[in-house]
Chains A and B, each alone.
Chain A
């Protein structure tokens, strides 16, 4: 009947890995072309191809899991490790930006007048929109945990509600942060303050968008009944990622917005 008697998933041949690599090449070349020649045509092609390939690759994975039943317990364990290692690598990615921020701010250079924040930089008031953003993300951490517990208790309706609220809060955060960026009196090129601020919060914002998208995809899959009470690793991975995004924001808020202002 079957030609294997083990719990592992040896995937069928797929075009997505090689296409994703080529797309990454186009994306990277597009970024360079944009930076040096002020032309974003290649970048747009790169983004489009990347999005299409990601959509199809992950669609194939959820088909293999939900519709073909190929994700045994062992396969899920492997994916748990994978997600944990990936998030750990992202933590180190952010550590490098925090390192750079503290390098610049703990002993400010003489070019900054040995001041932090440098003279002339109007920093964001930490108890205004940044505090609201902190509350939004903390609340979203609660709603995603509520959604998870509902899922584990086989409660479809509350799980949907929890996920929906989490996605809405995520979108609200991005909206507010976008508004802050728009209204900012300083830009990325304004001294070491501007670069450390916008690089750190900018990468965080990208991760918020990624996390929100991941949760929205989980919501769509949940509404199509992909998840069961005991098997919903995609949702757990999204929730872990979302908690990571929340924790990074807390560090950003304390270090850059509060201490650094």
Chain B
């Protein structure tokens, strides 16, 4: 994410995370994480894997979801036991 400038230190503008989503205004952001995961894979299914705008969702869930959860869900999807609708 940080621009590869020669030896320039990371500035405040370089650091980015998932933007505020008014659908999930409270402290518990679990559903934001999960919803983005779902939306990314739904987007990919509908628009194809090359469709670049889908990656917005990917960046969101990569930022705010715990890595363990993402791995677990990926495994579930492979095994066909993922409980969500994609």
Number of residue pairs across A and B with beta carbons under 8 Å? 23
Residue B5 at the A interface, CB < 8 A?
A: no
Binding site for B on A (CB under 8 A): 110-115, 118-120
* Chain B residues with CB under 8 A of A114: 31, 34-35, 38, 84
Q: Please, how many angstroms separate the alpha-carbon atoms of A15 and B35 in the complex?
A: 62
The SS class assigned to the B binding surface is helix
CB within 8 Å of A: which B16-48 residues = 30-31, 34-35, 38
Pick 15 A–B contacts, CB within 8 A, sort by A.
Answer: A110-B30, A110-B34, A110-B84, A112-B83, A113-B83, A113-B84, A113-B85, A114-B38, A114-B84, A115-B83, A115-B84, A115-B85, A118-B83, A119-B83, A119-B84
> What separation, in Å, do the CA atoms of A120 and B83 have in the docked complex?
8
Q: Which residue of A lies closest to B34 (CB)?
A: A110
- What's the nearest-Cβ distance from chain A to residue B39, in Å? 12
Nearest Cβ distance between residue A8 and chain B, in whole angstroms?
57
- Does B82 sit within 8 A of A, measured CB to CB? yes
B86 — nearest CB in chain A belongs to which residue? A113
Tell me the bound Cα distance from A94 to B60 in angstroms.
42
Task: Classify chain B: how many residues form its interface, as a range.
Answer: under 10
Q: Which of B52-77 contact A (CB under 8 A)?
A: none
- A113 and B31 contacting across the interface, CB-CB below 8 Å: no
Contacts of B35 in A (CB 8 A): 114
User: What are the residues of chain B within 8 A of A115 when measuring CB–CB?
Assistant: 83-85
Tell me which residues across on chain A come within 8 A of B34, comparing CB atoms. 110, 114
Additional 13 contacts, C-beta under 8 A, given A112-B83, A119-B85: A110-B31, A111-B83, A113-B82, A113-B84, A113-B85, A114-B31, A114-B34, A114-B38, A115-B83, A115-B84, A115-B85, A118-B83, A119-B84
Q: How far is the CA of A112 from the CA of B35 in the complex (A)?
A: 13
| Residues of the B chain whose Cβ atoms lie less than 8 Å from the Cβ of A118 | 83
Shortest CB–CB separation between residue A112 and chain B, in angstroms?
Answer: 6
Q: Which residues of A contact B38 (CB under 8 A)?
A: 114
Q: CA separation between A110 and B28, bound complex, in Å?
A: 13
| Complex interface: chain B residues within 8 A of A110 (CB) | 30-31, 34, 84
Residue in B34, B83, B84 whose Cβ sees the most chain A Cβ within 10 Å = B83
Assembly CA distance A112 to B82 (angstroms): 9
What's the Cα separation between A110 and B35 when bound, in Å? 9
B36 to chain A, nearest CB (A): 12
Q: Shortest Cβ distance from B47 into chain A, in angstroms?
A: 21
Interface centre among A112, A113, A118, A120 (most CB of B within 10 A): A113
Taken together as a complex, chains A and B put the C-alpha atoms of A112 and B85 apart, in Å, by 10
Cβ–Cβ < 8 Å partners of B85 in chain A: 113, 115, 119
Q: How far is the CA of A110 from the CA of B38 in the complex (A)?
A: 11
